[in-house]
């Protein structure tokens, strides 16, 4: 069912793109916007790991620098049938983690210093397995596709006034779509992100075989994120295992990058009962 929801949301993004392009920018404007978005996202796709690590101020660490972390990731990735990812640590007090990279062969798993201090080993395994679940599910590629479409819609808004002036009342139409189009795309993109978190939770529970440990870790991390700020660009917040910007204020469900922790815990508890 989650896969169906993601397909519907992607279809919604595509449909919104087509509608905005037709009503606002015309055929040539739509093609130009898609081309610009594609170029930008292809560059971002191949450089995503470096860009994200820079945004989180993270550094790649060697096995000699973090032997226990390497040992856990290596054991879990073998269980998941994945190549060994690059390991990185971010110098943040907030406990969190994320995965990035364009595919499994170029993946990076990063944890914050705060995560290493807060959770026990079982909980750490659950969090790391969750990130490996993202890699296993090829979520980085999906995020790039959704970002490409959402970026194209954002580019179309820059043509809105010009395209709208071609018809009577077009200026008002263009102004409306300058605002509504990107917001709609953002809502759909975040909805896709929330669904992928559920799937990564399930995959992580299956990889670690410790769904309750992951549930416990999520509860600790979500609570800490409310108290300990992490100053990162909002564009990379969706990659983290819990919302890293929670300390800066709540958002509506439509604009939430992550599903509620309570719902994630409930699903993991149900999964534990089945295992």
pTM above 0.85, yes or no: no
Q: Is 274 annotated as catalytic?
A: no
pLDDT tens for residues 215-273?
999 999 999 999 999 999 877 888 899 999 888 765 556 567 789 999 999 999 999 99
Looking at 63, 68, 125, 131, which residue is catalytic?
131
Comparing 208 with 35, which gets the higher pLDDT?
208
Q: How many domains does the chain have?
A: 1
- pLDDT number for residue 192: 74
Given a contact cutoff of 8 angstroms between Cβ atoms, the answer to whether 124 and 136 are in contact is: no
pLDDT tens for residues 85-121?
999 999 999 999 999 988 899 999 999 999 999 999 9
Return left, alpha or beta for 271; rule: phi > 0 is left, psi -120 to 50 is alpha, else beta.
alpha
List all residues 6 or more positions away from 114 whose beta carbon is below 8 Å from its beta carbon. Answer: 92, 93, 94, 95, 96, 224, 228
> Pairing between strand 108-112 and 86-90?
parallel
pLDDT tens for residues 150-192?
666 666 665 555 555 444 444 566 566 667 767 776 777 677 7
CA separation for the pair 10, 5 (Å, rounded): 9
- pLDDT number for residue 168: 46
Range of the domain at 43: 2-274
């Amino acid at each position: 069912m989650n896969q169906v929801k993601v397909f519907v949301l992607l279809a919604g993004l595509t449909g919104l793109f087509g509608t905005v392009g037709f009503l606002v920018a015309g055929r040539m404007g739509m093609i130009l916007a898609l081309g610009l978005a594609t170029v930008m996202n292809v560059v971002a796709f191949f450089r995503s790991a470096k860009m994200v690590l820079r945004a989180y101020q993270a550094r790649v660490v060697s096995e000699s620098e973090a032997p226990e972390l390497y040992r856990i990731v290596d054991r879990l990735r073998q269980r998941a049938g994945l190549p060994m990812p690059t390991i990185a640590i971010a110098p943040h007090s907030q406990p969190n983690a994320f995965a990035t990279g364009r595919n499994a062969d170029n993946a990076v798993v990063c944890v914050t210093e705060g995560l290493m201090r807060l959770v026990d080993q079982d909980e750490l395994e659950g969090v790391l397995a969750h990130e490996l679940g993202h890699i296993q599910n090829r979520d980085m590629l999906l995020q790039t596709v959704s970002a490409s479409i959402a970026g194209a819609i954002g580019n179309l808004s820059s043509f809105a006034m010009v395209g709208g002036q071609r018809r009577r009342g077009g200026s008002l139409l263009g102004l409306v779509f300058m605002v509504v189009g990107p917001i709609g795309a953002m809502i759909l993109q975040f909805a896709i992100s929330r669904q992928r978190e559920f799937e990564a939770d399930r995959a992580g529970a299956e990889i670690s075989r410790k769904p309750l440990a992951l549930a416990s870790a999520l509860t600790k991390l979500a609570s800490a994120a409310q108290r300990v700020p992490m100053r990162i660009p909002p564009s990379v917040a969706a990659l983290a295992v819990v919302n890293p910007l929670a300390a800066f204020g709540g958002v509506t469900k439509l604009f939430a990058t992550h599903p509620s922790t309570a719902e994630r815990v409930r699903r993991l508890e149900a999964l534990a009962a089945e295992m």
